[in-house]
C-alpha cells in the first residue's frame, strides 16, 4: 500500500502559498581518509571472489577516522554550510537533524539529548527550534519537506537541515561475514561516511526556488532492508535484499515522479539534472533507463553519479552530490534539478527545485 504526500507552491485549498522556499547554501563534510574497493575486499574474512568495483562502480569511499563520528560529520557540514552562507548561526530559526546514525565519541549511540540539540550547541544556533527526523536514507529530503513547508506558510524565514552519517562501521562488520555475491550483507560494503547540510530560506520575490516535494511510502517492502545492533561486535549489521529493492523502486518510482512533474506542469524532458540516491552506478543507470522509458522522455543530462568516489553515504547522498556538481560548475543558474530519494521502507521521495544565481555564486561560479 502506498501513501503519497505532495507539497507545492500552492496551498491545499488551491490558493497560492504565501511564500516560496529556496536552497540558500549547501555544505558538506568528507573525511580525508579514502578506502578503495580492492583494499576493502582484501580485508574480508572469507575469499569471496567478488569484484566489488566492477559490480557497483565504486572505486573508493571516505571513512571516518578515530576521532570522527556522526556528530562531528554533521557539525562539520553545518559549519561549511554557514561559511558559504550570508546567514549566521543566530539567524537559524529551526534546525532539523536527519542522521540515521547517532554516534558520539566513537560507536556510542545517543538518542537523548537529540542530535539536533548537540549540533545547535556546537555551531551556536541558540535561537533555533531543534528536533530530529528519522526516515532512513530519505531523511534529509524529508527534513527539506518539513522546513520548506514551514517557510512557505510564513511560520519561519530560515532553517537548517543537517545530517552526519558514520556508517562504514557496517562495512567493517560485514567484512567478517560476506561469503559471496548473494550475501545479504554485501550492500554494507558500498557505504561511505559523510556529513551534509542545507540552509533553506524564504526566497526573494520572483525566485522560483523549491516548487514541489513529494513522498510515497510503500510499506509492503519494509523488510527488504533491516539493521540492528551487532551481538558480538561494536556498531551494527545490515541485511539487504538489494535486487528486490531495486525491482520495487523501478516499479514504483515513475508514478511518483510523474505525479510531481504533473503538479509542476512539467515533463521529464524539462528537467536538467536528476540526482538519485547513490546506491551503485549500475543500479542508477539501469533505474534511470527504465524510468525514462516509462515516462517517455529523458532529462537534459545523464543522472548524476558520485557513488564511484564517495560510496553510498545514506541520507547525505544528495547534499554531497550537489556540492560536487556546483563546485565543478556543472549545475548552472536556471537549471531545474530533481533530487530523487530511495530509502528502506520503501520510501520514495522527490524534491524539485530551480537553481538561482546566488546559489551558483557561492561555489565560485558565474550564472
- Is the separation of the CB atoms in 151 and 94 below 8 Å? no
Rounded to whole angstroms, how far apart are CA atoms 297 and 254? 12
Check whether 101 has a pLDDT greater than 80: yes
Residues present in the chain in total: 367
**The pLDDT of residue 252 is above 70:** yes
For residue 191, the Cα-to-chain-centroid distance in whole angstroms is 13
DSSP E strand stretches across the chain: 2-8, 21-29, 34-36, 60-62, 94-97, 103-104, 108-109, 129-132, 158-165, 194-202, 210-218, 225-229, 236-240, 273-276, 336-343, 347-354
Residue 334 near residue 355 (C-beta atoms within 8 A): yes
Nearest of 282, 227, 280, 216 to residue 251 by alpha carbon: 216
In the 8-state DSSP scheme, what is residue 117?
H
Dihedral, 357, 148, 292, 344 alpha carbons, nearest 10:
130
How far apart are alpha carbons 281 and 60 in whole angstroms? 13
pLDDT at 10 over 70: no
Q: What are the structural domains of the chain?
A: 2-361 (3.40.47.10)
17 or 184, which is more confident: 184
**Which pLDDT does position 12 carry in this prediction?**
46
Mean of pLDDT values over 245-254: 87
- The pLDDT of residue 250: 84
Cα gap 223→346, rounded to integer Å: 9
Q: How many degrees, rounded to 5, is the angle at CA 339 between CA 279 and CA 4? A: 100
Confidence of residue 345 (pLDDT cuts 50, 70, 90): confident
β-sheet bridge partners, residue 275: 339
For cell 536527519, the residue is 98
Q: Minimal CA–CA distance to 352: which of 225, 204, 213? A: 213
User: 66 or 219: whose pLDDT is higher?
Assistant: 219
Q: Cα 188 from chain centroid?
A: 17
Give the pLDDT confidence of 304-328 residue by residue, as tens digits: 999 999 999 999 999 999 999 999 9
Q: How far apart are CA 233 and CA 278, in angstroms?
A: 27
Residue 5 has pLDDT above 80, yes or no: no
Residue with cell 561549511: 80
Query: Phi and psi for 236 in degrees, rounded to 5?
Result: -135, 175
* Model pLDDT for residues 156-207, shown as the tens digit of each residue: 999 999 999 999 999 999 999 999 999 999 999 999 999 999 999 999 999 9
Instruction: Give the pLDDT of residue 2.
Output: 53
Check if the beta carbon of residue 40 is closer than 8 Å to that of residue 171.
yes
Please state which of the ranges 95-109, 221-235, 255-269 shows the lowest mean pLDDT.
221-235
**Quick one: pLDDT band at residue 4, thresholds 50, 70, 90?**
low
**In the block, residue with C-alpha cell 550564472:** 367
Question: Which pLDDT value is given to residue 209?
Answer: 95
Amino acid at each position: 500500500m502506498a501513501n503519497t504526500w505532495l507539497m507545492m507552491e500552492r496551498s491545499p485549498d488551491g490558493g497560492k502559498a504565501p511564500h516560496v522556499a529556496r536552497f540558500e547554501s549547501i555544505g558538506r563534510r568528507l573525511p580525508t581518509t579514502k578506502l578503495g574497493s580492492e583494499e576493502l575486499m582484501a580485508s574480508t574474512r572469507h575469499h569471496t571472489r567478488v569484484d566489488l568495483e566492477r559490480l557497483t562502480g565504486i572505486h573508493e569511499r571516505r571513512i571516518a577516522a578515530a576521532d570522527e563520528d556522526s556528530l562531528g560529520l554533521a557539525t562539520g557540514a553545518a559549519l561549511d554550510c554557514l561559511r558559504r552562507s550570508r546567514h549566521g548561526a543566530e539567524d537559524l530559526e529551526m534546525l532539523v537533524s536527519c542522521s540515521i546514525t547517532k554516534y558520539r565519541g566513537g560507536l556510542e549511540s545517543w538518542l537523548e539529548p537529540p542530535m539536533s540539540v548537540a549540533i545547535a550547541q556546537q555551531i551556536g544556533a541558540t535561537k533555533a527550534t531543534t528536533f530530529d527526523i528519522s526516515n532512513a536514507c530519505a531523511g534529509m529530503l524529508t527534513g527539506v519537506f518539513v522546513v520548506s513547508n514551514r517557510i512557505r506558510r510564513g511560520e519561519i524565514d530560515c532553517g537548517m537541515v543537517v545530517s552526519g552519517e558514520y556508517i562504514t562501521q557496517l562495512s567493517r562488520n560485514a567484512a567478517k561475514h560476506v561469503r559471496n555475491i548473494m550475501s545479504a550483507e554485501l550492500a554494507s560494503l558500498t557505504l561511505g561516511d559523510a556529513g551534509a547540510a542545507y540552509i533553506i530560506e524564504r526566497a526573494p520575490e520572483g525566485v522560483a526556488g523549491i516548487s514541489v516535494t513529494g513522498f510515497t511510502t510503500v510499506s509492503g517492502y519494509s523488510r527488504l532492508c533491516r539493521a540492528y545492533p551487532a551481538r558480538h561486535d561494536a556498531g551494527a549489521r545490515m541485511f539487504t535484499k538489494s535486487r528486490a529493492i531495486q525491482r520495487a523502486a523501478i516499479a514504483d518510482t515513475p508514478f511518483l515522479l510523474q505525479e510531481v512533474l504533473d503538479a509542476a506542469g512539467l515533463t521529464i524532458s524539462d528537467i536538467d539534472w536528476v540526482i538519485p540516491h547513490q546506491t551503485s552506478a549500475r543500479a542508477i543507470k539501469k533505474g534511470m533507463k527504465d524510468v525514462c522509458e516509462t515516462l517517455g522522455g529523458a532529462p537534459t543530462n545523464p543522472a548524476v553519479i558520485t557513488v564511484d568516489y564517495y560510496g553510498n553515504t545514506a541520507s547525505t547522498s544528495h547534499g554531497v552530490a550537489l556540492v560536487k556538481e556546483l563546485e565543478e560548475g556543472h549545475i548552472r543558474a536556471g537549471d531545474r534539478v530533481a533530487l530523487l530519494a530511495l530509502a528502506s521502507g520503501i520510501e520514495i521521495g522527490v524534491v524539485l527545485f530551480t537553481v538561482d544565481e546566488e546559489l551558483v555564486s557561492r561555489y565560485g561560479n558565474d550564472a
